Amino acid sequence: MLYLGPKRHKANTLTGDQPGIDWAQHFAERANQARDARLVQYYQAGMVTVDTPIKDVPLLAIDFETTGFEPEKDGILSIGVVPMTLQRISSNKARHWLLKPKFHLTESSVVIHGITHNDIAAAPDITSMLDELLSYMAGSVAVVHFRGIERPFLQATLLDRLGEGIDFPVIDTMELEARLHRSKPPGLLDKLLGRQPVSIRLADSRRRYGLPDYRPHHAVTDALASAELLQAQIADRFSPDTPIAELWK
Protein backbone atom coordinates (compact mmCIF):
# COMPACT_ATOMS: atom_id res chain seq x y z
CA MET A 1 0.00 0.00 0.00
CA LEU A 2 1.72 3.13 -1.22
CA TYR A 3 -1.04 5.55 -0.49
CA LEU A 4 0.30 8.49 1.48
CA GLY A 5 -2.89 10.19 2.56
CA PRO A 6 -5.13 12.66 0.77
CA LYS A 7 -3.94 16.15 0.03
CA ARG A 8 -6.01 18.45 2.21
CA HIS A 9 -8.46 20.58 0.28
CA LYS A 10 -9.00 24.05 1.63
CA ALA A 11 -12.78 24.27 1.85
CA ASN A 12 -13.71 20.67 2.46
CA THR A 13 -11.20 19.02 4.70
CA LEU A 14 -11.68 15.53 6.00
CA THR A 15 -12.21 15.44 9.69
CA GLY A 16 -11.41 11.74 10.07
CA ASP A 17 -8.34 10.72 12.03
CA GLN A 18 -8.59 13.75 14.29
CA PRO A 19 -8.60 12.29 17.76
CA GLY A 20 -11.74 12.32 19.85
CA ILE A 21 -14.06 13.63 17.20
CA ASP A 22 -17.79 13.61 18.04
CA TRP A 23 -19.30 12.44 14.79
CA ALA A 24 -22.91 12.98 15.90
CA GLN A 25 -22.18 16.64 16.49
CA HIS A 26 -20.10 16.88 13.34
CA PHE A 27 -22.99 15.45 11.27
CA ALA A 28 -25.39 18.01 12.75
CA GLU A 29 -23.05 20.82 11.71
CA ARG A 30 -22.52 19.35 8.27
CA ALA A 31 -26.28 19.04 7.78
CA ASN A 32 -26.49 22.84 8.11
CA GLN A 33 -23.51 23.57 5.89
CA ALA A 34 -24.18 21.12 3.02
CA ARG A 35 -25.78 22.52 -0.13
CA ASP A 36 -26.60 19.40 -2.13
CA ALA A 37 -29.99 18.04 -1.02
CA ARG A 38 -28.75 14.43 -1.05
CA LEU A 39 -25.90 15.29 1.29
CA VAL A 40 -28.18 17.31 3.54
CA GLN A 41 -30.45 14.31 3.83
CA TYR A 42 -27.48 12.02 4.49
CA TYR A 43 -26.19 14.16 7.36
CA GLN A 44 -29.69 14.65 8.75
CA ALA A 45 -29.98 10.90 9.20
CA GLY A 46 -27.45 11.50 11.96
CA MET A 47 -24.75 9.38 13.51
CA VAL A 48 -24.51 7.29 16.71
CA THR A 49 -23.11 9.02 19.78
CA VAL A 50 -19.55 8.35 20.91
CA ASP A 51 -20.60 6.11 23.81
CA THR A 52 -22.81 3.76 21.77
CA PRO A 53 -21.69 0.14 22.30
CA ILE A 54 -20.49 -1.52 19.09
CA LYS A 55 -23.18 -4.21 19.44
CA ASP A 56 -25.87 -1.55 18.87
CA VAL A 57 -24.21 0.28 15.97
CA PRO A 58 -25.60 -0.15 12.45
CA LEU A 59 -22.61 -0.84 10.21
CA LEU A 60 -21.98 -0.86 6.47
CA ALA A 61 -18.96 -2.68 5.03
CA ILE A 62 -17.78 -0.76 1.94
CA ASP A 63 -15.19 -1.49 -0.69
CA PHE A 64 -14.18 0.49 -3.79
CA GLU A 65 -12.23 -0.77 -6.75
CA THR A 66 -10.35 2.20 -8.20
CA THR A 67 -8.14 2.97 -11.19
CA GLY A 68 -5.22 3.77 -8.88
CA PHE A 69 -4.30 5.01 -5.43
CA GLU A 70 -4.56 8.79 -5.79
CA PRO A 71 -8.01 10.27 -5.19
CA GLU A 72 -7.18 13.43 -7.16
CA LYS A 73 -6.00 11.56 -10.24
CA ASP A 74 -7.75 8.22 -10.16
CA GLY A 75 -11.40 7.27 -10.24
CA ILE A 76 -13.85 4.77 -8.73
CA LEU A 77 -14.63 1.72 -10.90
CA SER A 78 -16.99 -0.17 -8.68
CA ILE A 79 -18.56 0.00 -5.23
CA GLY A 80 -19.66 -2.87 -3.06
CA VAL A 81 -21.64 -2.48 0.16
CA VAL A 82 -22.77 -5.06 2.73
CA PRO A 83 -24.98 -3.93 5.64
CA MET A 84 -24.17 -5.60 8.95
CA THR A 85 -24.31 -5.51 12.71
CA LEU A 86 -21.99 -7.14 15.19
CA GLN A 87 -24.35 -10.14 15.24
CA ARG A 88 -25.14 -10.67 11.57
CA ILE A 89 -23.84 -9.74 8.18
CA SER A 90 -26.73 -9.14 5.79
CA SER A 91 -25.06 -10.33 2.66
CA ASN A 92 -28.60 -10.78 1.33
CA LYS A 93 -28.78 -6.96 1.25
CA ALA A 94 -25.42 -6.53 -0.45
CA ARG A 95 -25.21 -4.22 -3.47
CA HIS A 96 -22.69 -3.78 -6.23
CA TRP A 97 -22.37 -0.94 -8.73
CA LEU A 98 -20.07 -0.60 -11.71
CA LEU A 99 -19.21 3.04 -12.40
CA LYS A 100 -17.64 4.96 -15.22
CA PRO A 101 -14.56 6.64 -13.76
CA LYS A 102 -13.66 10.11 -14.83
CA PHE A 103 -10.13 9.03 -15.53
CA HIS A 104 -8.66 6.48 -17.87
CA LEU A 105 -8.21 2.85 -16.97
CA THR A 106 -4.59 1.86 -16.87
CA GLU A 107 -3.36 -1.56 -17.92
CA SER A 108 -1.99 -2.27 -14.47
CA SER A 109 -5.27 -1.62 -12.68
CA VAL A 110 -7.16 -3.85 -15.13
CA VAL A 111 -4.83 -6.62 -14.09
CA ILE A 112 -5.80 -6.13 -10.44
CA HIS A 113 -9.55 -5.86 -10.47
CA GLY A 114 -10.39 -7.44 -13.82
CA ILE A 115 -12.81 -4.66 -14.75
CA THR A 116 -12.20 -3.78 -18.41
CA HIS A 117 -13.08 -0.89 -20.68
CA ASN A 118 -15.97 -2.87 -22.09
CA ASP A 119 -17.44 -3.46 -18.65
CA ILE A 120 -17.65 0.22 -17.86
CA ALA A 121 -18.54 1.53 -21.30
CA ALA A 122 -22.22 1.40 -20.37
CA ALA A 123 -21.71 2.06 -16.64
CA PRO A 124 -23.28 5.16 -15.11
CA ASP A 125 -21.52 8.06 -13.47
CA ILE A 126 -21.52 8.08 -9.69
CA THR A 127 -23.97 11.00 -9.59
CA SER A 128 -26.75 8.81 -10.95
CA MET A 129 -26.55 6.29 -8.10
CA LEU A 130 -25.47 8.64 -5.33
CA ASP A 131 -28.99 8.61 -3.85
CA GLU A 132 -28.91 4.88 -3.43
CA LEU A 133 -25.38 4.78 -2.07
CA LEU A 134 -26.10 7.52 0.47
CA SER A 135 -29.29 5.81 1.62
CA TYR A 136 -27.24 2.67 2.31
CA MET A 137 -24.69 4.76 4.21
CA ALA A 138 -27.18 6.87 6.14
CA GLY A 139 -27.00 6.29 9.88
CA SER A 140 -24.37 3.55 9.56
CA VAL A 141 -20.69 3.53 10.44
CA ALA A 142 -18.56 2.44 7.48
CA VAL A 143 -16.31 -0.63 7.79
CA VAL A 144 -13.28 -0.74 5.50
CA HIS A 145 -9.93 -2.48 5.35
CA PHE A 146 -7.42 0.38 5.06
CA ARG A 147 -9.11 3.72 5.39
CA GLY A 148 -6.95 5.44 2.73
CA ILE A 149 -9.26 4.56 -0.13
CA GLU A 150 -13.02 4.74 0.31
CA ARG A 151 -13.36 7.95 2.28
CA PRO A 152 -10.79 10.04 0.35
CA PHE A 153 -12.03 8.76 -3.01
CA LEU A 154 -15.66 9.53 -2.24
CA GLN A 155 -14.61 12.91 -0.91
CA ALA A 156 -12.57 13.75 -4.03
CA THR A 157 -15.17 12.42 -6.43
CA LEU A 158 -18.05 14.36 -4.90
CA LEU A 159 -15.93 17.46 -4.68
CA ASP A 160 -15.37 17.15 -8.39
CA ARG A 161 -19.02 16.42 -9.29
CA LEU A 162 -20.94 18.48 -6.73
CA GLY A 163 -18.42 21.08 -5.70
CA GLU A 164 -18.58 19.83 -2.11
CA GLY A 165 -17.13 16.76 -0.43
CA ILE A 166 -18.34 14.28 2.15
CA ASP A 167 -17.05 13.13 5.48
CA PHE A 168 -18.01 10.14 7.60
CA PRO A 169 -16.59 7.87 10.31
CA VAL A 170 -14.99 4.56 9.42
CA ILE A 171 -13.88 1.48 11.34
CA ASP A 172 -10.64 0.34 9.72
CA THR A 173 -10.09 -3.40 10.17
CA MET A 174 -6.48 -2.98 9.05
CA GLU A 175 -5.88 -0.41 11.75
CA LEU A 176 -7.47 -2.76 14.33
CA GLU A 177 -5.07 -5.44 13.14
CA ALA A 178 -2.15 -2.99 13.31
CA ARG A 179 -3.01 -2.17 16.93
CA LEU A 180 -2.34 -5.81 17.73
CA HIS A 181 0.67 -6.49 15.54
CA ARG A 182 2.33 -3.12 15.08
CA SER A 183 2.06 -1.75 18.58
CA LYS A 184 5.81 -1.31 18.83
CA PRO A 185 8.35 -0.66 16.09
CA PRO A 186 10.61 -3.58 15.19
CA GLY A 187 13.61 -3.78 17.51
CA LEU A 188 17.24 -4.02 16.50
CA LEU A 189 17.17 -7.76 17.09
CA ASP A 190 14.19 -8.13 14.77
CA LYS A 191 16.06 -6.21 12.08
CA LEU A 192 19.27 -8.16 12.55
CA LEU A 193 17.40 -11.43 12.33
CA GLY A 194 15.51 -10.17 9.31
CA ARG A 195 12.19 -10.81 11.05
CA GLN A 196 9.31 -9.80 8.86
CA PRO A 197 6.49 -7.92 10.54
CA VAL A 198 3.18 -9.77 10.65
CA SER A 199 1.20 -9.06 7.50
CA ILE A 200 -1.96 -7.06 8.13
CA ARG A 201 -3.26 -7.38 4.59
CA LEU A 202 -6.87 -8.47 4.33
CA ALA A 203 -6.29 -12.07 3.26
CA ASP A 204 -3.48 -12.66 5.78
CA SER A 205 -5.44 -11.09 8.62
CA ARG A 206 -8.46 -13.26 7.82
CA ARG A 207 -6.41 -16.45 7.94
CA ARG A 208 -5.39 -15.70 11.51
CA TYR A 209 -9.06 -15.93 12.53
CA GLY A 210 -9.73 -19.10 10.58
CA LEU A 211 -11.74 -17.22 7.95
CA PRO A 212 -11.86 -18.77 4.48
CA ASP A 213 -9.87 -17.54 1.49
CA TYR A 214 -11.89 -15.39 -0.90
CA ARG A 215 -10.84 -14.25 -4.34
CA PRO A 216 -9.90 -10.60 -3.82
CA HIS A 217 -10.70 -7.48 -5.83
CA HIS A 218 -14.39 -7.82 -6.31
CA ALA A 219 -15.94 -4.94 -4.39
CA VAL A 220 -18.74 -6.93 -2.73
CA THR A 221 -16.49 -9.86 -1.86
CA ASP A 222 -13.90 -7.52 -0.37
CA ALA A 223 -16.59 -5.68 1.60
CA LEU A 224 -17.89 -9.03 2.85
CA ALA A 225 -14.33 -10.06 3.72
CA SER A 226 -13.88 -6.92 5.85
CA ALA A 227 -17.29 -7.44 7.45
CA GLU A 228 -16.38 -10.96 8.56
CA LEU A 229 -12.96 -9.81 9.71
CA LEU A 230 -14.52 -7.13 11.93
CA GLN A 231 -16.83 -9.69 13.59
CA ALA A 232 -13.83 -11.93 14.19
CA GLN A 233 -11.69 -9.11 15.61
CA ILE A 234 -14.39 -7.98 18.01
CA ALA A 235 -15.08 -11.59 19.07
CA ASP A 236 -11.37 -12.08 19.61
CA ARG A 237 -10.44 -9.12 21.75
CA PHE A 238 -13.14 -6.52 22.23
CA SER A 239 -16.28 -6.63 24.31
CA PRO A 240 -19.57 -6.19 22.43
CA ASP A 241 -20.03 -3.25 24.83
CA THR A 242 -16.93 -1.42 23.57
CA PRO A 243 -17.95 2.21 22.89
CA ILE A 244 -17.76 3.05 19.20
CA ALA A 245 -15.38 5.91 20.01
CA GLU A 246 -12.63 3.36 20.67
CA LEU A 247 -13.06 1.80 17.26
CA TRP A 248 -13.89 4.43 14.68
CA LYS A 249 -11.67 7.03 13.08
Partner 1 sequence: MQIEQIEILEFLKRHSPFQELPEETQVQVASQIEISYFKAGTPILSFGQSLDALYLIRSGAVETYRRNGDLYNRLSEGGIFAEQGLLRSKTVRFPASALEDTLLYLIPATLFDELFENHDLFADYVMVSDEERRKAVPQRQTDANELMTSKVNTLIGREPVTLTTDASVRDAAITMQHESVSSLLVLQPETQAEANRDGKINLIAGIITDRDIRNRLVAPGLPFDTAIGDIMTRELVTIQHHQFVFEAMLIMLRHNVHHLPVMKQGRPIGVIAISDIVRYESKNSLFVVSSIFRQQSVTELQALSQDVKACFVRMVNEDANSHMIGSAMAVIGRSFKQRLLELAEEQLGPPPVPYCFLALGSMAREEQLIVTDQDNALILHNDFDARQHDVYFKQLADFVCDGLAACGYTYCTGGIMATNPKWRQPLQVWQKYFRDWIDNPSPERLLHSSIFFDIAGVWGKVEWAEQLNKDMVRHASRSKRFLASMARNALLRTPPLGFFKDFVMENDGRQNNSLNIKRRGTAPLADLIRVHALASGCEQQNSFQRLKHIINAKLIPPGRAEDIRDALEVIAMARIRHQAIALQAGEEPDNNVAPEHLSDFERRNLKEAFQVLSNAQKYLKFRYQGG
User: Which spans of this chain sit near partner 1 (rule: CB under 8 A)?
Assistant: 80, 87-92, 94-96, 209-212, 214-215, 218, 220-221, 224, 227-228, 231-232, 235-236
Provide the strand spans (E) within 36-150: 59-66, 76-84, 95-98, 141-144
Q: How far is the CB of 244 from partner 1 (least distance, A)?
A: 19
Measured from the CB of residue 4, what is the shortest distance to partner 1 in angstroms?
Answer: 32
- Identity of the residue, 20 or 212, whose beta carbon is nearer to partner 1 in the bound complex: 212
**109 or 233: whose CB is closer to partner 1?**
233
- Distance separating alpha carbons of residues 87 and 32, to the nearest angstrom: 34
**Are the CB atoms for 76 and 64 separated by under 8 Å?**
yes
User: Taking a C-beta distance cutoff of 8 angstroms, is the pair 60, 137 a contact?
Assistant: yes
Nearest distance, CB of residue 91 and partner 1, angstroms: 6
Q: Give me the least distance between CB of 34 and partner 1, in Å please.
A: 30
Distance CA 146, CA 107 (A): 23
3-class DSSP state of 109: helix
Q: What is the DSSP string of 25-57?
A: HHHHHHHHH--SHHHHHHHHT----TT-BGGG-
How far, in Å, CA of 202 to CA of 176, rounded?
A: 12
Which CB atom, from 120 or from 158, has the smaller least distance to partner 1? Answer: 120
Nearer to partner 1 (CB atom), residue 139 or residue 216: 216
Smallest distance, partner 1 to C-beta of residue 234, A:
9
Rank residues 186 and 240 by Cβ distance to partner 1 and give the closer one.
Answer: 240
